[in-house]
Amino acid sequence: MFKRMTVLSLLIAFLMMSTAAFAENVYVTGKGKKYHKAECRLIQNKEKKEMDLQKAIQAGYEACKKCFKEEKKEEKNKK
């Protein structure tokens, strides 16, 4: 029983860490409708808010075409 509990605890800990590792933060501006990567030139010198990618998508933000063009290309190639 103890061995099962230990394995289960380790599995839960691993899943929690892997979820956190794949979380991506993006940036939005007050009036913007897009989310950006930190290095995006379109939001440099602007007041911005950091948020989780999934929350940005749920809030209705769309990906910046400049920041995420590589991901768009990869997505098209998978189809």
- The pLDDT value given to residue 20: 47
DSSP strand pairing (25-29 vs 34-35) = unpaired
Pick the closest to residue 28 from 39, 7, 43, 13 (CA basis): 43
- The pLDDT value given to residue 18: 47
pLDDT values of the chain reduced to their tens digit, one per residue, 79 residues: 777 778 767 666 655 554 444 568 999 999 999 999 999 999 999 999 999 999 999 999 999 999 887 665 545 455 5
pLDDT digits (tens, 9 = 90+) for 37-50: 999 999 999 999 99
Round to whole Å and give the CA distance between 58 and 65: 18
Delimit the domains of the chain by residue range.
24-78
